[in-house]
Structure 1
């Protein structure tokens, strides 16, 4: 039977998915409580309804209301790193209707009843830099080992205050180091304000990483001084990028960038056709780089180096996907192989010094060289898993490079466990669940590529077993998962506006937040989640201090 034609950017498209939070009053990513107003601060003795749900809650008997005398108190030793979180919380208490004016932010070792205390310190029996505790006694005290942990604690506090005051003790921590969203701005321009609103919403849900896919076949969306010719008319200036990075830092969201290479380079190579791969039969691969050419490699190195210098996130993604044919594309004269691209074969043998090397070995050498550049900039290199084959060929992808596992075409291909065994950190971006795709027919979907599939079936250990929802692969518990990310792919960028993207994406973010935090799910089904959790939690407050 013929295999379905599946590609990363739009596989198993079957209609529209319209996840809309019942009763949610929002503008783009929303602007406060789910019903548009703050709720009275009554005590909460049951586990609080928050997103993501907390790991541990110990009930208590003391409840503290927010009153006009409430202060936000910072220990002098912690003040420098926590002042931003305190100022944000102060404004939110007003925006949420708990106070008529912002509370004082004070530096003191002494506290008073009704104070909110933010401090750095260990969280009992939890060794995690993003862990935090909230203890209610004479004060409400948020403690964490890092500023990020304290900030996550204030996100929980804001959510709790929408239905009451915390009573007792919360101890909370994530199970994944990276909880991420990838946004395809290469194909579709999103305004800086929209991206900031997305970051604000992500931080409200404790999602800690945004990856901007700045280069794709349809565009390059960030100003580039080394190669200004490749920059699309609609793009982010470097000033706008730096403003986004500064905003994200306030939200404790890291911003990584990616430049997809050696495939998906149609736009860049339209300005450098001399760097396009030309096959033996004369077929020009408009989106494929001929990395056997020194000038082609230099082009990519200059672009990647400049973007590494601009973006301050700890990771730089190099793409690497869909360069060689997928199984359903066959081995004919118009796809890349040893016989159709002899220049890549020769490059591989020249670089490795091995007469048995293949074009794929040359690809690995090219990606390793780029990864070395990324590491020289103080960042971790990451690439998609399509053409990472541990133990095969005469070369190998450097195990220091993280592997972003979105696909497994069929069971003959490596699984996530094999990447871990080869020494790679893995990121789960399972294309059967975690792909939010703008298609010509609207939002693409599949059996599980929707909030219901994510919430009811997917976990961070659920990798693709075979493409097209043909099976899952569950990574064994003894093998670590570094992170997971949702992907917003803009295959048909004009199919919806950015506000429509925000509206539909909201529920995906919420369920993904719950699944990647790793705490016990508050309810079993998406229908229950919508009514009992999402409606009550609402969306991130909008305050002027974010501007």
Structure 2
């Protein structure tokens, strides 16, 4: 169901667009430069109103004089390693645009930008922060390092968009006076990148990590295996990567991450407070593995590599013992290089696996995840088997999903299975915005910027208890996407909206106020070099 209702003719044209690199994407944000420059000049002298950021903060109380960064400003940290790292990160972000060598110091002082960890302030939780801005000082206080980092992301958005430029800009660099107190609604705020249909290099993944971290996303779900490519080196089954990873949709050369490269991504993500969740999709979506090792097939014959876009035709051989040796080895090696809590085992669109075999497979595989100290996540079809205690089901249904399937998921939630919500016709970033979108798919319908934002995770799935919802995810499938420009065009402006649904209190949820805050991100994306879609339902500056 995740990718059905497709037109082969449409796919052919989309793939031609993707293969051509869609060079027009990068030109999309340009717009009326004269009007845009005038708007930026007008706003540069006036600080962004306190709290006019994405995601919306829990509380913003404006008041008093603004804080201004100048050449003498110091970033004062409390001596902790986490505060030091966050301070260095902030100095690195602001140095190119301000031209100021913002010194990071632990020598005390009541002026400048102050980063403070206060482990005793339970009201801030694990990811919350308090930002206090006034003449002479701006103080960010948090209980843990994540909160400090998120406070810094808010600080970035309170500064003029030009703060994101890579060359020295005029300023002034002011933050409106007042106090923001903020903490997330949900602890699970994820974005998924499909690197299997098209392979994305380490640098491209890092670029997306930097972009999503600005919006307080805290999970990066990496779809590492599918019919079209296996993207992670496994020492005990080396051909998975070297052969199974050698191609991609349309027949390109593919690629895979060495263990060192994967660890590099994990560490980089951690520096941006993102936990990597690796996914090995099974028992379906496994042609790349089946092509690499004949013994994984029930008939002992390896199929050819696959570069198309159909789904549901492949399956591991559930009745063979070697299948579970294979799964054990893969999970063991991935768990060893993944410090995060979760491993995603897929489980969707297993149309070539009987229900009996599917249940048997999940009964054997979920304990293997626990064996290596991880918690299993599966697509919501997992609820058609027996979810292990603590397992999470990721719901990707949409308006056309049957009532029976929705009820199955809701009943699992009532019985203790936690849910992550990523409804395909709301949060799938690869869905077309409208009929004229040159990239993406439309099997779940067109997903405008408003539609992607205008739903409440707490009440979305009828019958699922509100406390069963762990959070949200914005998946980006890559059948038609092969460059960073493609990623950005489909993710922006919709990704920040999903991030806000995960972070902001339900009381702040209002499209008419959100679209204004979202529009103000446009000049920031221009400064960052993000080629976004200028959605007609958003009042972009100079429009």
Give the TM-score of the pair, scaled to structure 2. Answer: 0.77
Please name the residue that 1:246 is paired with.
267
Partner of 1:62: 65
Give the equivalent residue in structure 1 for 2:304.
Answer: none
Shift of 1:476: 5.7
Q: Is this contact kept in 1: 2:331–2:372, CA < 8 A?
A: no
- In structure 2, the residue matched to 1:485 is 473
> Residue 432 of structure 1 aligns to a residue in which SS?
helix
Residue 289 of structure 2: aligned partner: 268
Give, in whole Å, the separation in 2 of the partners of 1:236 and 1:148: 27
Aligned 8 A contact 2:77 2:83 in 1:
yes
In the alignment, the residues of structure 1 paired with residue 466 and residue 194 of structure 2 have an alpha-carbon distance, to the nearest angstrom, of 33
Deviations 1:327-354 (CA, angstroms, capped at 9, x unpaired): xxxxxxxx644xxxxxxxxxxxxxxxxx
TM-score normalised over the length of structure 1: 0.77
Q: Is the 8 A contact 1:51 1:205 kept in 2?
A: yes
Q: Deviations over 1:124-176 (max 9, x none)?
A: 78352111010124421000111010000001101101173131100111111
> What residue number does 2:430 align with?
437
1:441 deviation in Å? 6.9
Task: Name whichever of 311-320 and 189-198 sits farther off.
Answer: 311-320
Q: Note the 1:105-116 alignment, pairs <5 A.
A: 105-108=104-107, 110-113=108-111, 115-116=112-113
Change (3 A) 1:238 1:53: same
Residue 155 of structure 2: SS of its match in structure 1? helix
> Is residue 51–residue 537 contact of structure 1 (8 Å, CA) maintained in 2?
no
Q: Relative to structure 1, is the Cα distance of residues 198 and 475 closer, same or farther in structure 2, using a 3 angstrom cutoff?
A: farther
Shift of 1:447: 4.2
The residue that corresponds to 2:211 in the other structure is 201
Equivalent residue number for residue 468 of structure 1 = none
Query: Does structure 1 retain, via aligned residues, the 8 Å contact 2:191–2:474?
Result: yes
Q: Is the 8 A contact 1:9 1:489 kept in 2?
A: no
> Kindly tell me: are residues 229 and 252 of structure 1, through their superposed partners in 2, closer, same or farther at Cα, counting changes over 3 Å?
same
2:249 maps to what in 1? none
Is residue 411–residue 464 contact of structure 2 (8 Å, CA) maintained in 1? Answer: no
Whether 1:74 and 2:77 are equivalent positions in the alignment is yes
Please show how residues 331-410 of structure 1 align to structure 2 within 5 Å: 336-337=353-354, 360=356, 362-389=357-384, 396-407=386-397, 409-410=401-402
Is structure 2 residue 92 aligned with structure 1 residue 91?
A: yes
* Larger strand fraction of residues: 1
Question: RCO greater where, 1 or 2, for CA within 8 Å and sep 6 or more?
Answer: 1
Structure 2 residue aligned with 1:449, among 447, 467, 471?
Answer: 447
Distance verdict in 2 for CA 1:245–1:402, change over 3 Å? same
Q: How does 1:13-24 map to 2 (within 5 A)?
A: 24=29
Gaps of 5+ in 2: 162-173, 247-254, 301-311, 530-543
Q: How far has the Cα of 1:45 moved from its partner?
A: 8.1
Contact 2:269-2:275 at 8 Å conserved across structures: yes
CA gap of 1:540–1:141, structure 2 versus 1, over 3 A, is farther
State the alpha-carbon separation in 1 of the partners of residues 192 and 277 from structure 2: 9
CA distance in 1, matches of 2:333, 2:41: 45
Q: Which secondary structure does the structure 1 equivalent of 2:424 belong to?
A: coil
| 1:212 maps to 2:222 | yes
Cα RMSD over matched residues?
A: 3.5
- 1:407-441 CA distances to partner (integer Å, 9 max, x unpaired)? 27311224343222111111101122222338997
Q: 1:223 to 1:195 in 2, by over 3 A?
A: same
Q: Distance in 2 between matches of 1:316 and 1:81?
A: 26
